């Protein structure tokens, strides 16, 4: 009997030691937040570019961690998405509805909450919220969108131009902070904000011609006639056919003293992109594009041929930018391994939204169609997440903040509107059952000319309400995954439409939307 008691006591002691060890070693957190990185362009998602443009380093995170297949944003545009990620709230709560508001960093964010809880916090790279970052021990951020080459970075000490390719520069800064600048007695939370692959897409020198001999697969609906949808889809100013040639297609020249013969906002291009290149970079870019540009001019393409050319040119450049993102994810992960931080660090790879890559003939985002609102989300942490998981729950970017606080062992403020995804890390279920997500886009009028809308997404259906147009769209995502035909007026779906209308009403109450006039 005594022997049994002694063994039991020993077991309890061992368990206590393990538990104490885990408690005393709080998780580190790294959020790699890329800009406009579509799930179509991450090979772990097995989508259109998986074969021609694999992303082995990002895939490794997914294969050894968890990939979320139904992850959405609350408002598909840069600044509002970033505000939702930081605060765990919808746009009307955090105050960033469009690209025009300055973020109030004093409201509760993952940065200031974790900092108060004893974390060392940092943000490096894209910030894009106008005000200076608050709640970060260290910040070194791009001015507005930043530039691909020789970008300017802002710190509390002023603005400094950093030579080199922006994705490499940001990762260098991140590794440097981890290695040399942080207080190593504390756990850390770092946001690595990539500019890439936001437009205007310019790959690094080594990938400028990487896809030259590749023919990218086109989406089936590259030439959408918009017959199955309403006014907003038709009026959206983001069709490939109207894409500005110089800015988006690197179709420039300085021959014969011309500034930019093909570009319809040439000055901006000249100042921002080409003008800041050094001689070596200029030579590399001229060599990569000049001959192709001359051939393009000679071909005098029109109509569908011109759209096809634009699609190939821009998406190759986009994928070239992503190759560099993937390389740099690999470089950061190599550092974590070498520094023995890999086991205890949660790495989240995410984009601020998805992106149209020629689907519906669009580029850009914003509209509540899958390519823009569905967003990659991958999480990796060997000591926290079981490997090789694919999750199909409806999750949203308002969930990231509660998840991060939960992982850090910090209380989640009651006003946060998302919920922690940690139960899903090992095949469990969300604490509160969730059958739908709420979406709201506000940025109108603006250059893209996309009307305001809100809507609801469920496991199978999507309802969109363009309230200033008094128009609705309804999609059966199972039968029509590319959302070509709204079934709003189809009597066969009357019951489902009514159910989703009620759901939308309930979500407006749940998320405390201002009451309508």
Q: Which residues bind Ca ion (CB under 5 A)?
A: 35-36, 78, 352
Instruction: Name the residue whose CB lies closest to Ca ion.
Output: 78
**Which residue lies nearer to Ca ion by CB, 289 or 400?**
400
Q: How far is the CB of 95 from Ca ion (least distance, A)?
A: 18
Q: How far is the CB of 79 from Ca ion (least distance, A)?
A: 8
Q: How far is the CB of 352 from Ca ion (least distance, A)?
A: 4
Give the integer Cα–Cα distance in Å for 465 and 368: 10
Rounded (10°) CA dihedral 503, 505, 506, 509: 160
**Which residue lies nearer to Ca ion by CB, 75 or 281?**
75
Q: How far is the CB of 126 from Ca ion (least distance, A)?
A: 9
Cα angle 355, 360, 365; round to 5: 25
- Got the DSSP string for 317-380? HHHHHHHHHHHHHHHHHHHHHHTT-STTEEEEEEESS---SSGGGB-S--SSSHHHHB--EEEE
* C-beta separation of 405 from 110 below 8 A: yes
**Which residue lies nearer to Ca ion by CB, 352 or 406?**
352
Q: How far is the CB of 81 from Ca ion (least distance, A)?
A: 7
Cα angle 55, 57, 62; round to 5: 90
Q: Which of 450, 441, 454, 460 is nearest to 505 (CA)?
A: 454
Q: How far is the CB of 96 from Ca ion (least distance, A)?
A: 13
* Alpha-carbon separation of residue 227 from 223, 372, 465, 483, 485 (angstroms): 11, 20, 18, 12, 8
**Which residue lies nearer to Ca ion by CB, 73 or 497?**
73
Q: How far is the CB of 191 from Ca ion (least distance, A)?
A: 14
Q: How far is the CB of 137 from Ca ion (least distance, A)?
A: 25
- Got the DSSP string for 380-435? E-TTTS-SSEEE-S-EEGGGHHHHHHHHHT-PPPTT--S---GGGGGT---SS---
Q: How far is the CB of 479 from Ca ion (least distance, A)?
A: 30
**Which residue lies nearer to Ca ion by CB, 55 or 389?**
55
DSSP secondary structure letter of residue 239: B
Give alpha helix (H) positions in 96-161. 110-116
Give the integer Cα–Cα distance in Å for 87 and 110: 7
Q: Which of 377, 28, 363, 382 is nearest to 174 (CA)?
A: 28
Question: From the centroid of its chain, how far is CA 430?
Answer: 23
**Which residue lies nearer to Ca ion by CB, 35 or 487?**
35
**Which residue lies nearer to Ca ion by CB, 195 or 452?**
195
**Which residue lies nearer to Ca ion by CB, 354 or 358?**
354
Strand 120-125: give its sheet, edge to edge: 158-161, 152-155, 138-142, 120-125, 188-193, 28-34, 345-351, 377-380, 66-68, 389-391
**Which residue lies nearer to Ca ion by CB, 442 or 472?**
442
3-state SS, residue 454: strand
**Which residue lies nearer to Ca ion by CB, 353 or 419?**
353
Reported as type and span, the H/E element at residue 458 is strand 453-458
Q: How far is the CB of 351 from Ca ion (least distance, A)?
A: 7
């Amino acid at each position: 009997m005594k022997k049994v008691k002694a063994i039991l006591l020993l077991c309890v002691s061992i368990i206590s030691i393990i538990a104490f060890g885990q408690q005393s070693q709080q998780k580190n957190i790294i959020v790699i937040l890329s800009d406009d990185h579509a799930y179509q362009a991450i090979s772990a998602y097995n989508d259109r570019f998986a074969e021609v443009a694999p992303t082995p380093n990002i895939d490794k995170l997914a294969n050894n961690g968890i990939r979320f297949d139904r992850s959405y944003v609350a408002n598909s545009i840069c600044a509002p998405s970033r505000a939702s990620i930081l605060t765990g709230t919808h746009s009307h709560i955090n105050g960033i509805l469009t690209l025009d508001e300055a973020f109030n960093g004093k409201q509760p964010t993952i940065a200031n909450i974790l900092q108060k809880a004893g974390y060392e916090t940092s943000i490096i790279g894209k910030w894009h919220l106008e005000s200076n970052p608050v709640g970060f021990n260290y910040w070194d951020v791009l001015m507005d969108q930043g530039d691909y080459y020789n970008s300017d970075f802002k710190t509390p000490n002023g603005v400094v131009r950093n030579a080199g390719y922006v994705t490499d520069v940001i990762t260098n800064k991140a590794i440097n902070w981890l290695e040399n600048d942080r207080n190593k007695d504390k756990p850390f939370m770092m946001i690595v904000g990539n500019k890439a692959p936001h437009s205007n897409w310019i790959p690094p020198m080594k990938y400028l011609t990487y896809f030259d001999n590749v023919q990218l697969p086109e989406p089936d609906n590259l030439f959408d006639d918009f017959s199955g949808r309403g006014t907003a889809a038709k009026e959206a100013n983001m069709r490939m056919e109207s894409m500005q040639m110089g800015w988006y297609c690197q179709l420039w020249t300085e021959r014969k003293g011309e500034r930019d013969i093909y570009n319809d906002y040439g000055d901006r291009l000249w100042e921002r992109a080409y003008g800041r290149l050094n001689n070596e970079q200029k030579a590399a870019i001229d060599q990569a594009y000049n001959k192709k540009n001359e051939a393009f001019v000679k071909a005098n393409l029109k109509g569908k041929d011109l759209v096809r050319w634009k699609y190939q040119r821009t998406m190759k450049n986009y994928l070239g930018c992503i190759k560099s993102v993937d390389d740099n994810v690999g470089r950061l992960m190599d550092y974590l391994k070498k520094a023995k931080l890999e086991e205890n660090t949660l790495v989240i790879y995410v984009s601020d939204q998805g992106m149209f890559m020629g689907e519906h003939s669009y580029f850009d985002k914003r509209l509540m169609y899958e390519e823009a609102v569905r967003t990659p989300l991958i999480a990796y942490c060997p000591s926290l997440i079981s490997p090789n998981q694919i999750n199909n729950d409806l999750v949203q970017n308002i969930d990231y903040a509660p998840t991060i606080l939960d992982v850090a062992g910090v209380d989640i403020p009651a006003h946060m509107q998302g919920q922690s995804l940690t139960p899903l890390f090992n095949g469990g279920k969300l604490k509160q059952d969730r059958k739908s997500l709420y979406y709201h886009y506000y940025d109108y009028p603006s250059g893209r000319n996309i009307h305001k809308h809100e809507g609801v997404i469920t496991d199978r259906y999507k309802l969109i309400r363009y309230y200033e147009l008094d128009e609705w769209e309804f999609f059966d995502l199972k039968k029509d995954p590319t959302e070509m035909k709204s079934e709003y007026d189809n009597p066969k779906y009357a019951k489902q439409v009514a159910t989703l209308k009620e759901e939308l009403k309930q979500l407006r109450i749940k998320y405390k939307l201002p009451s309508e006039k």
